[in-house]
Amino acid sequence: MTLFISLTETCQKIASTSSRLEKMRILNDFLRKLSREEIKPAINLILGRIAGKGEIKTGISSGIILSALKKVLGDNFKFRDKCKESADLGEYVECLLKSFKPVKQQVFLETTYSLKGIYEVLRKAFLLKGKKSKEKKEEIVASLLTNLTPSESKYLVNIILGDLRIGLEEGTVEQALAKLLNLNIETVKRANMLLGDISETVYLGLTDKKSLLTAKIQLFKPIKPMLAETAENLKEIFDEMHGPVSLEPKLDGARVQIHHSKGKTKIFTRRLSEVTNSLPEIITLTKQEFTSADYIVEGEVVAVSRKGEILPFNYLMRRFRRTKEITEISEKIKLKLFLFDILYYQGKQLIDAPYEQRREKLVGEFGRENVVPALLTKNDKKAEEFFLNCVKEGHEGVMAKNPKSIYEPGKRGKNWLKLKKTLTLDLVIVGAQWGYGRRRKWLSDYFLAVWNESKTDLLIVGKTFKGLTDQEFEWITKKLLEKKLREKGYVVWVKPEIVVETAFNEIQKSKLYPSGYVLRFARIKNIRFDKELKEADTIKEVKKIFETQKKRNLEKIWRSFSA
Ligand code: ATP
């Protein structure tokens, strides 16, 4: 039986080196010692994946952790200023537990200290729902903090928050596994993409190496979506794709992956969470209009008004977050599905077929009326016309796809390029200021940050209060107060968790923020519930936009169009 402490010691060692190779060696030494049933819990713990596929809703917030800490420290909690509250809540908890001996509340069975035991306790806590769940979660965290050492508690807290801060990413785990098994990294990556769950990949690798070589898409196990890089203009698209390109409207909706077999349907989001119950009309559509064959298809769901106009992304997210009262909302907000890819059909994996063949199959089996329109062209005038038309119809821009390209799960590459009408970055809210006037009851002026290149630190690139509705201000205020780290004057600094898609006109160099850049005329377009914290943009994208904005002709195209 492996103890939790051996996992936290491994975390400590991994954090203490910046060498990727060394991190891999330490991880592999640890993996070698594990029994079969410990492999998945260990990987999920070490990557902070307890919540499972980014389910913020079911998680334990920093607010719950602080209340639990208060319980554990009793009267000593009032001396909490002894430790500095930093962005690393785990360190803060460790410091306080070290300073004030916790009151023992209950004696643990020895097995609860095991890696597997802790994992199961946390899973149980995460799955708690309903009225009393907050109190119950608090009790669970309090008893863990009472019984673990301060150093174990530090890692426990950061595991719970999904941010271990040890510099270990999924990619490094893949590399470590490839090394351990003496396999090509591409083989491991591909298997991981198809399996869609790194803990499953490591488990299969360590228990049945051959199965990684033959990994296949499985129905009802979501696959990581293929992603697009950003193009600056149409010329870049033609240069990259060398030949005709397939242009599709970039719909402003939410991506879904639909798995169907023997009359049963499941729908997954871009983050691989299941949302079947939130989208009853898509299920009806699959039952009434789609083929009864086995398939996995992808598409974009958009919200449409009663008049049939496409509504902004926010309306859609309202639907995705609720499962109750669906009928009431669905009367107001209709959904429309536009399919754009097919990955599997009747026992056949299609991801290795070129895009043009996949599209033909999609149209053939599902009908042109259910598939997003496309233009195959190598003519730049026709492409520009298509782009302008898409913008006119209210779409975000265009998606350009290389007709000869295969579907590469989880990969952001140049075979799919997106060209948007407005510049946007996905930024993280790290702090907020109380508003004034009408907005005084809300934290409504947000400090927005990008990741540094190694994704270990967040760097502020701007501040804005523009773009959100009153309901959104209200919701964000509530969420931010739950994540509050410290408050100074009018500013509340928070644990980063909310990703917002932010539009802006230009990037300028600035000494105002340590990032060295500031966004001009920033406005929040959408709260990205479908993006994980680590998926926000990095300073690399900021620099790229800064460097290329002078050459940008996209703005020109847009201006000539709107003139
Ligand atoms: P964004 O924030 O721009 O939506 P993203 O990071 O979610 O991007 P990207 O791969 O960069 O994902 O952009 C592709 C996304 O655009 C898809 O995930 C999908 O949700 C959406 N989309 C809209 N229309 C299409 C289309 N025709 N083909 C593929 N994806 C589309």
Q: Are 403 and 353 in contact (CB under 8 A)?
A: no
Query: Within this chain, do residues 185 and 321 fall inside the same structural domain, yes or no?
Result: no
Task: Specify if 106 maps to a domain.
Answer: yes
Query: Within this chain, do residues 265 and 414 fall inside the same structural domain, yes or no?
Result: yes
User: Which of the four pLDDT bands, split at 50, 70 and 90, describes residue 233?
Assistant: confident
Centroid of ligand 1 to alpha carbon of 271 (angstroms): 13
Centroid of ligand 1 to alpha carbon of 287 (angstroms): 26
Report the alpha-carbon angle 515-519-522, nearest 5: 135
Ligand 1 contact, 445 CB (< 6 A): no
Task: Specify if 561 maps to a domain.
Answer: no
**How much is the mean pLDDT over the chain?**
87
Centroid of ligand 1 to alpha carbon of 177 (angstroms): 30
Query: Within this chain, do residues 452 and 411 fall inside the same structural domain, yes or no?
Result: no
* The predicted structure's pLDDT at residue 361: 98
- Of the ranges 265-274, 329-338, 420-429, 548-557, which one carries the lowest mean pLDDT score? 548-557
Query: Within this chain, do residues 248 and 395 fall inside the same structural domain, yes or no?
Result: yes
* The predicted structure's pLDDT at residue 393: 84
Q: Out of 250, 386, 412, give the residue to mutate to test ligand 1, the one with the largest number of ligand atoms within 8 Å of its CB.
A: 250
* Cα–Cα distance for residue pair 503/312, rounded to 1 Å: 14
Average pLDDT over residues 64-69: 90
Q: Which residue stretches of 417-518 are H helix?
A: 470-482
Query: Within this chain, do residues 439 and 530 fall inside the same structural domain, yes or no?
Result: yes
Task: Specify if 47 maps to a domain.
Answer: yes
Q: Are 499 and 535 in contact (CB under 8 A)?
A: yes
Task: Specify if 552 maps to a domain.
Answer: no
Query: Within this chain, do residues 477 and 406 fall inside the same structural domain, yes or no?
Result: no
Q: Could you identify the atom of ligand 1 that is nearest to the CA of residue 535? A: 6
Q: Which of 46, 62, 41 is nearest to 120 (CA)?
A: 41
Ligand 1 contact, 340 CB (< 6 A): yes
Computed from CA positions of residues 159, 161, 166, 167, in that sequence, does the dihedral angle turn out positive or negative?
positive
Query: Within this chain, do residues 207 and 231 fall inside the same structural domain, yes or no?
Result: no
Centroid of ligand 1 to alpha carbon of 552 (angstroms): 21
What length does the chain have?
Answer: 563
SS3 readout for 303-360:
EECCCCCECCHHHHHHHHHCCCCHHHHHHHCEEEEEEEEEEEECCEECCCCCHHHHHH
* Cα–Cα distance for residue pair 203/36, rounded to 1 Å: 7
CATH number at residue 30: 1.10.3260.10
Q: Could you identify the atom of ligand 1 that is nearest to the CA of residue 249? A: 27
Ligand 1 contact, 231 CB (< 6 A): no
| Residue of minimum CA distance from atom 3 in ligand 1 | 418
| Residue of minimum CA distance from atom 25 in ligand 1 | 250
Ligand 1 contact, 410 CB (< 6 A): no
Task: Specify if 149 maps to a domain.
Answer: yes
Query: Within this chain, do residues 406 and 428 fall inside the same structural domain, yes or no?
Result: no
- Of the ranges 104-113, 432-441, 500-509, 544-553, which one carries the lowest mean pLDDT score? 104-113
Domain that holds residue 239: 227-420
* The predicted structure's pLDDT at residue 563: 32
Centroid of ligand 1 to alpha carbon of 4 (angstroms): 40
How much of the chain exceeds pLDDT 70, in percent? 90
H or E, element range at 32: helix 20-32
- Please write the tens of the pLDDT for every residue from 451-494: 999 888 999 999 999 988 888 899 999 999 988 888 888 889 99
CATH number at residue 465: 2.40.50.140
Domain end among 393, 420, 447: 420
* The predicted structure's pLDDT at residue 551: 54
Task: Specify if 554 maps to a domain.
Answer: no
Q: Could you identify the atom of ligand 1 that is nearest to the CA of residue 401? A: 28
How much of the chain exceeds pLDDT 90, in percent? 56
Query: Within this chain, do residues 12 and 65 fall inside the same structural domain, yes or no?
Result: yes
Q: What is the DSSP string of 115-126?
A: HHHHHHHHHHHH
Query: Within this chain, do residues 146 and 16 fall inside the same structural domain, yes or no?
Result: yes
Centroid of ligand 1 to alpha carbon of 251 (angstroms): 8
Q: Could you identify the atom of ligand 1 that is nearest to the CA of residue 374? A: 27
Task: Specify if 254 maps to a domain.
Answer: yes
Ligand 1 contact, 228 CB (< 6 A): yes
* Cα–Cα distance for residue pair 175/184, rounded to 1 Å: 9
Ligand 1 contact, 250 CB (< 6 A): yes
- Please write the tens of the pLDDT for every residue from 162-198: 778 898 989 999 999 999 999 999 999 999 988 888 9
Centroid of ligand 1 to alpha carbon of 227 (angstroms): 7
H or E, element range at 92: helix 89-99
The pair of three-digit structure tokens given for residue 159, joined into one six-digit string: 């595991």
Query: Within this chain, do residues 508 and 535 fall inside the same structural domain, yes or no?
Result: yes
Query: Within this chain, do residues 327 and 196 fall inside the same structural domain, yes or no?
Result: no
* Cα–Cα distance for residue pair 148/79, rounded to 1 Å: 21
Domain end among 366, 398, 420: 420
CATH number at residue 274: 3.30.470.30
> Looking at the annotation, which residues are catalytic?
250
Q: Are 243 and 354 in contact (CB under 8 A)?
A: no
* Cα–Cα distance for residue pair 65/73, rounded to 1 Å: 12
State how many domains the chain has. Answer: 4
* The predicted structure's pLDDT at residue 193: 87
Ligand 1 contact, 227 CB (< 6 A): yes
* Cα–Cα distance for residue pair 188/201, rounded to 1 Å: 8
- Please write the tens of the pLDDT for every residue from 349-399: 999 999 999 999 999 999 999 999 999 999 989 999 999 999 888 888 999
Ligand 1 contact, 418 CB (< 6 A): yes
DSSP state of 54: T
Domain end among 398, 420, 442: 420
Task: Specify if 555 maps to a domain.
Answer: no
